[in-house]
Structure 1
Amino acid sequence: LTQPKGYVKQFSKQNAFISKLLKKKFPQLEEVLLTRHEKYNETVAFCEQLEKDGKAIIIRPEYSLNSFEKDISKLRETCQHGYDSAIDRMPDIRKLFN
């Protein structure tokens, strides 16, 4: 994930604005943009339940990362954190496949 534990995506006025702009050309995109936050939160809840059931391992940063982050150093740092976290959790990850 790109957000820390406890993060809940909120409705975005930007998505509402963009959906209105693109509605004529891409009518099906409107619903996707207007419900994006709900789908994200449902998916995270599903993944968290899988983790509770011992069927998944969630690796997430300790800080928020903007989905459109352009700072290469932040992206590299986050990628390295994810890699290091996966290595640290490798015994747990291997148990998923036994």
Structure 2
Amino acid sequence: MESSGMLRGLLFVGLLTVLCHGQASREVSAEDFAVEKPESAADKDLIEALEALLGKMHSTEKRGNIPTCGMGDRCAMKFGPRIGKLCDCGRGANCNSYLLKCI
């Protein structure tokens, strides 16, 4: 049973390798993205509105809402087969999935 799943996985990876081998990357030049200066006031207003919207989207990222917890603090909670995140461990620490604490 387990070997058939492993065989399927190897076949899938082999197929992806063969399909992706033919893909060639191509360099992007400045000519591909010819940017023209906005000439009308409506274009300038549209650009300013888009920049403001992008600024708001970056300020309300999902990771920004998760509080930071210290070493040894509980960072996750187990809900049956799933683990929910309570807080994000600080720099240099990871949330241990067995102890559910920052180590």
Taking structure 1 as the reference length, what is the TM-score of the superposition? 0.22
Relative to its length, the structure with more helix (as a share) is 1
Relative to its length, the structure with more strand (as a share) is 2
Higher relative contact order, structure no. (Cα contacts within 8 Å, ≥ 6 residues apart) = 1
Taking structure 2 as the reference length, what is the TM-score of the superposition? 0.21
